[in-house]
Amino acid sequence: MTEMTLVQAVNRGLAEAMRQDPDVLILGEDVGVNGGVFRATEGLFKEFGADRVIDTPLSETGIVGAAIGMALYGLKPIAEIQFLDFIYPAFDQIVSELAKFRYRSGGQYPCHVVIRAPYGGGVKGGLYHSQSTEAYFAHTAGLKVAIPSTPADAKGLLLTAVHDADPVMFLEPKRIYRSVTGEVPEGDYRVPFGEVRVVREGTDVSLFAYGAMIPSSVEAADTLAKEGISAEVIDLRTLVPLDERAVVASVEKTGRAVIVHEAARFCGFGAEMAAILAERAFYSLKAPVARVTGFDTPFPYALENVYLPGTDRIVHAARATVRST
C-alpha cells in the first residue's frame, strides 16, 4: 500500500495495465512527452515509448475514431480527452460508433475502448473546463460509465475498465485529483463495476453521490451527525451498470433519499435515480426524494461556488427530508 493522490492512482493504474499487456496503449493530446496536462500519464512515455503513449493532433474525433479502429483490430486503446468539455467533436464517434459496434454488427465486432476524461467544476475552469455531462453517456446504450472518488477506486476501477470487453467512459473528478489522498494497493486489483461503495452507514437518510461530490457528502454527514441525524453515504462508483439493488436496499433501510451531483438537475442522473426509487422503493419512502445538483444554467466562472452543490446545500436538503416526517 502506498499513500497517493487520485491522479497518481490513475497514473499507477495506467502503468499497471500497460505492463500487463502490450496491446494496451494510450493516445491523446499532450499525453506523451508532456505527461498530460494533469500529469495523469507522467513517466509513461519514458517507460513505454512513443508507440504506446501517442501524442495525437488536436482532434477529439480523430482520437476516438482512431481508438475505435485500433480496438476493432484487437488492441486495447485508452483514449484521453483533455477535458470532458472538449469531448463533443467526438460525440458522434462515441454515440454512433463506439457504443453501437457490438450491437450493430450482431456481435461480430466488439469495440473495447476506454475513454478517460477529467470532468467537473471547482477548479475555476469556467464554462468549458468544468462541466459534468455524464448523463449523456449513461443515456446511451452500449457504454459503461465509471467515476471514482478515491485513489484506490481510481486505480481499481481503471483496471476493471481496461479488462472489460466493452467501451467504458472513465470520468475523473479533477477537483479532487490532488486534494484527496489515500492508500492504494500495489499491483493488479480490480474494483468491480456495478457495486456501490458504502462510504458510511446510517439509518435516517441515504445520500447518493459520486466523484467529487463524495467528500462534500461525507462532510455533510458529519454535520448531520452533530444534529442527531444518521446519514448513510453511498458512492455509486459506476452509473452504468448501476447497482440498483444496493440503492433500493439503502432506501428501504433509511426511508429517505438525497441525490447529489454537480451536473444540472433537469434530466441529470439524479432524475433516473429518483425514478428508480419511485418505481422500486415507493412504499419505503417516508419523504419525497430530494436532489442537490448544479443549477439548470451553463457552468459559471466567477460564481462557480454558487453553482456547485456545497456541504451546506446537502445538509439543508437532508435535514428538510428528515424533518418533513
Partner 1 sequence: MVYVTSVPRVSAVGIEETSELSPSARLEAYRWMVTARVADERCLSLQRQGRIGFYAPLAGQEAAQVGATLALRPEDWVFPAYRELAVALVRGVPLSEIFDQLVGNSRDQIKGRQMPNHFGFRAQNFVVASSPIGTQITHAVGSAMAAQRRHDPIVTIAFFGDGATSSNDFHAGLNFAGVFRTPTIFFCQNNQWAISLPRERQTHSATLAEKAKAYGFPGFVVDGNDLAAVYRTVGEARRRALTGEGPTLIEAQVYRLGPHSTSDDPHRYRSDAEVAEARLRDPLHRLKTELLATGQLDETGDQKLWESIRAGVARAIEESEQVPPLDPHTVFDDVFAVPISRLEEERADYDSLVRNGGSKP
Q: Does 26 bind partner 1 (CB under 8 A)?
A: no
Can residue 250 be called a binding residue for partner 1 (CB under 8 A)?
A: no
61 is a site residue for partner 1 (CB under 8 A): yes
Which one of 104-112, 147-155, 199-207, 227-235 is the stretch in contact with partner 1 (CB under 8 A)? 104-112
Candidates 19, 46, 104, 178; binder of partner 1 (CB under 8 A) is: 104
| Sole binder of partner 1 in the list 7, 14, 68, 263 (CB under 8 A) | 68
Asked if 21 touches partner 1 (CB under 8 A), the answer is no
Q: Which is nearest to 194 in space by CA: 144, 259, 120, 133?
A: 144
Supply the DSSP string of 256-269, one letter for each residue.
-EEEEEEEESTTSH
Min CB(79)–partner 1 separation in Å: 10
Does 129 qualify as catalytic in the annotation?
A: yes
- Does 59 engage in binding with partner 1 (CB under 8 A)? yes
Instruction: Decide: is 20 part of the binding site for partner 1 (CB under 8 A).
Output: no
Quick one: CA dihedral 91, 157, 20, 166, positive or negative?
negative
Q: Look at residues 268, 273, 263, 272 and name the one whose alpha carbon lies nearest to residue 309.
A: 263
Is the distance from CB of 237 to CB of 263 less than 8 angstroms? Answer: no
* Per CB under 8 A, 15 contacts partner 1: no
Q: How many residues does the chain have?
A: 325
Q: Which of 155, 149, 74, 83 minimizes the C-alpha distance to 111? A: 74
Q: DSSP class of residue 191?
A: P
Shortest distance in whole angstroms from residue 97 CB to partner 1: 5
176 is a contact residue toward partner 1 (CB under 8 A): no
In this structure, are residues 215 and 188 in contact, taking their beta carbons and an 8 Å threshold?
no
* Separation CA 252–CA 282 (nearest Å): 9
70 counts as binding partner 1 under rule CB under 8 A? yes
Helix-then-strand count for the chain, H and E: 12, 14
Pinpoint the alpha helices (H) of 83-150. 91-92, 101-104, 134-138
144 binds partner 1 (CB under 8 A): yes
Catalytic residue among 129, 139, 261, 316: 129
Cα(233)–Cα(59) distance, rounded to whole angstroms? Answer: 39
Q: Which is nearer to partner 1, 107 or 228 (CB)?
A: 107
Using CB under 8 A as the binding rule, whether residue 65 contacts partner 1 is answered as: yes
> Which residue, among 269, 277, 10, 271, has the nearest Cα to 137 in the 3D structure?
269
Q: What's the rounded Cα separation, in Å, for the pair 126 and 129? A: 6
CB of 140 to partner 1, least distance (A): 11
- The amino acid that residue 118 corresponds to is P
List 7, 40, 67, 259, residue binding partner 1 (CB under 8 A): 67
In this chain, which of 195, 244, 252, 304 binds partner 1, going by CB under 8 A?
244
Which one of 10, 53, 66, 158 is in contact with partner 1 (CB under 8 A)? 66
Residues forming contacts to partner 1 in the complex (CB under 8 A) are: 25, 51, 56-57, 59, 61-62, 64-75, 77, 89, 92-93, 96-97, 100-110, 141-142, 144, 165-166, 194, 240-242, 244-245
Give me the active site residues, please: 129
